[in-house]
Structure 1
Amino acid sequence: MNASAGIKGMTSKELTRRILAKEDLFILDVRNENDYNDWRIEGERIVSLNIPYFELLDGVDNALEQIPANMKLLVVCAKEGSSMFVAEQIADAGRTNVHYLEGGMKSWSEHLEPVFIGELQDGGAVYQFLRLGKGCLSYMIVSGGEAAVIDAARMTDRYMAFAQARGITIKHVLDTHLHADHISGGRQLAERTGAAYWLPPKDAEEVTFAYEKLEDGRDITVGRAVIRIQPVYSPGHTIGSTSFVVDAQYLLTGDILFIESIGRPDLAGRAEDWVGDLRDTLYDKYKELSPELLVLPAHYGKMSELGEGGKVMARLSDLYRHNPGLNLQEEEAFRRAVTENLPPQPNAYEEIRQANMGKIKPTEEEQREMETGPNRCAVHDQ
């Protein structure tokens, strides 16, 4: 289908840049109501309206009455075709500045935006790969022409292209835990680059492939200046969850600790068993670390967690003051908050766990379908 002269495509990259720049945008989402309520594009300056496609087949007058004439319009659907059709009708009715989202929500779910976080002591750098459409965060630690990638998404081309453009060799690939809300790209990225692939052994008892064991005291070096990535065993989200202290400056917490919430312990069906581990990690083990560490989580749950330029980060000491999940001093109150405030489990989370163990091998399209929807790794409203 070719777009008419009155409409333009907007890529997921362009949309990401607009959201991070806090530019005004009106979104008409033509997916069905359930899909829209479950998962939609959000941003500080975005106004969103849902009118299902089938309600617009006989005309767009109803939509025109609700769309401000002075705002840029983006029409969104699942894959692209329906949004192009509706956008054309709106443009034909005389509206200008009309766009459709190229590739639809499928493309939006897969876009990775690299964000510079900060420098390392040797002049290296930390980059955060922001997956706005899914709320996932992954990282590249760069030093001396080498890199380690942490919690990679399955879109491994993005990391390889980023590294190649900068003359960087990916030497290590690490997962903080066995993921249940998205397909890990860790093993594939390691295979494609010849890097070592690291996993926490307590999460890897059923995996079908070889890996390096992430264990306390086993440092991982990146670059000539020996940037230390120090594993810190921190169970609770999973039994093997492992955090990383990088260059004595950054704390990568995986899905244990987020900016405004904490991790959930139930995605392997072990909430009652693991809630004690989660509390020990958050209230004891992390308390032993430097309060000046900058926390870099593997997910975010709310747009309010995005800082300037899209950075998702906060000082550990600030989180102990402001994060509700770190301020439940009574153990029973913590237990109730963690087990009673759990959001719905991620779509196909058990199948995703099986894929990340190597037990099943879904096609690319099946992986997309398995990942559809928001991340649900956090406990909110403590």
Structure 2
Amino acid sequence: MTTATMQAMTPQQLTRKIVNHEELFILDVRNTSEFDNWKIEGGKAEILNIPYFDLLDGVDEALDKIPSGKDILVVCAKEGSSIFVAEQLVEAGRTNIYYLRGGMKAWSEHIEPVKVGDLKGGGELYQFVRIGKGCLSYMVLSGGVAAVIDTLRMTDVYEQFARDKGAVIKHTLDTHLHADHISGGRTLAEKAGATYWLPPKDATEVTFKYEPIEEGKDIAVGQSSIRIEPIYSPGHTIGSTSFVIDEQYLLSGDILFVESIGRPDLAGKAEDWVADLRTTLYETYKHLSDDLIVLPAHFGKATELGEGGKVAGRLGDLFKSNPGLNIDSDAEFRAVVTENLPPQPNAYQDIRLTNMGQISPTEDEQREMELGPNRCAVHDK
């Protein structure tokens, strides 16, 4: 007779289950307010919230709500509470019981590399999916050289990936001054001896040196013909800049997402920037090739995760399906992007100050600032 035991499930294993649409039942034992603000979603995962304090005296009353025959994953903020509840479920005779190693804290920080495609000059493009936070970053590889775009705070991931690919990181770039997460671009550039690039209109208050990203100023990567071509595209911020890479891919930053568009209010400039946002989306982007593959800096919904976890969409298709690209009048557009918006990202003002170099929070403080969903899109409700 085999004795049932609980097991740890890593964020990477959970990511694979979600991306591969495997059956999974999640019991989230955080407080209801925390659960309502941010939860694990996607694939075939079902989720139930029963706060830990309601289970201290036992799990008997919860058993009829938890299915048999599926993997059961217990989740809490940092791990401890989920281990306690998972042990009780095992004692109650349940099998296939797991707890999320590191809890939602670890889930927020897990980054999964996904190959986007090969480049014409022989290089590769990878998307780094921070699935628990909805952040996306990119690495262009060519001729032993790497460029990282919209780098996340966990810079070790990029360093190790570049080493595994036999590449040296020479450039880090931000499409704009981020407000939902702390950029790792400057840190990674300093560690790798690379050049850090930032749009100058977003850099008027920064305290550090950078190389200005400017329209018409291409950035070569490696020895091949692969080039990163900046396109000034304000609206989410005044400096927002998109990149066309290898004439195949449009890195849209937080201007355009697969199922929504960027919000203009995170610097308190919604009324000033709404016209810029409409011009970028309805004119600048409209003049680009329909065949460009849009690769945004974020996703807001699990439905945006495609094959292998990749988040992407053909520009021509998005002009047909994305509601933010199909608003007839200026007045209606203004109302959509300035009224009834989702809550603003957690600690977004301090995150902006951090990304300007004006404050220097500790590692633990940075982690706390980033907890929760990104909420950079108009329709992320």
TM-score (norm 2): 0.98
Match of 1:184 in 2: 183
Match of 1:50 in 2: 49
Which segments of structure 1 move beyond 4 Å, counting only runs of 4 or more?
none
**2:44 equivalent to 1:7:** no
CA–CA separation in structure 2 for the residues paired with 1:328 and 1:11: 42
Match of 1:209 in 2: 208
AA aligned to 2:222 is G
Residues 1-382 of structure 1: pairs in structure 2 closer than 5 A:
6-380=5-379
Q: Deviations 1:147-185 (Å, cap 9, x if unpaired)?
A: 110001100000101111111111100000000000001
AA aligned to 1:149 is V
SS in 2 for 1:14: helix
| CA displacement at 1:145 relative to structure 2 | 0.9
CA–CA separation in structure 1 for the residues paired with 2:306 and 2:11: 20
How many residue pairs get matched? 379
AA aligned to 2:39 is R
Structure 1: unaligned runs, 5 residues or longer: none
AA aligned to 2:114 is V
| CA displacement at 1:341 relative to structure 2 | 3.4
Contact 1:341 1:380 in 2 (8 A): no
CA–CA separation in structure 1 for the residues paired with 2:205 and 2:128: 28
Q: For the structure 1 residues 306 and 63, does the alpha-carbon distance in structure 2 shift closer, same or farther, using more than 3 Å as the test?
A: same
Contact 2:257 2:298 in 1 (8 A): yes
SS in 2 for 1:295: strand
AA aligned to 2:265 is D
| CA displacement at 1:44 relative to structure 2 | 2.2
CA–CA separation in structure 1 for the residues paired with 2:55 and 2:294: 46
CA–CA separation in structure 2 for the residues paired with 1:47 and 1:343: 24
AA aligned to 1:250 is Y
TM-score (norm 1): 0.98
Q: Deviations 1:37-70 (Å, cap 9, x if unpaired)?
A: 0000001200100000001000011221111011
Query: What is the alpha-carbon root mean square deviation over aligned residues?
Result: 1.2
CA–CA separation in structure 2 for the residues paired with 1:21 and 1:338: 34
Structure 2: unaligned runs, 5 residues or longer: none
Percent identity between the two aligned chains: 68
CA–CA separation in structure 1 for the residues paired with 2:56 and 2:32: 16
Q: Deviations 1:246-302 (Å, cap 9, x if unpaired)?
A: 000000000000001000000000000000000000001111111111000000111
SS in 2 for 1:96: coil
AA aligned to 2:186 is R
SS in 2 for 1:139: strand
Contact 2:114 2:126 in 1 (8 A): yes
AA aligned to 2:270 is A
Contact 2:71 2:96 in 1 (8 A): yes
| CA displacement at 1:309 relative to structure 2 | 1.0
SS in 1 for 2:132: coil
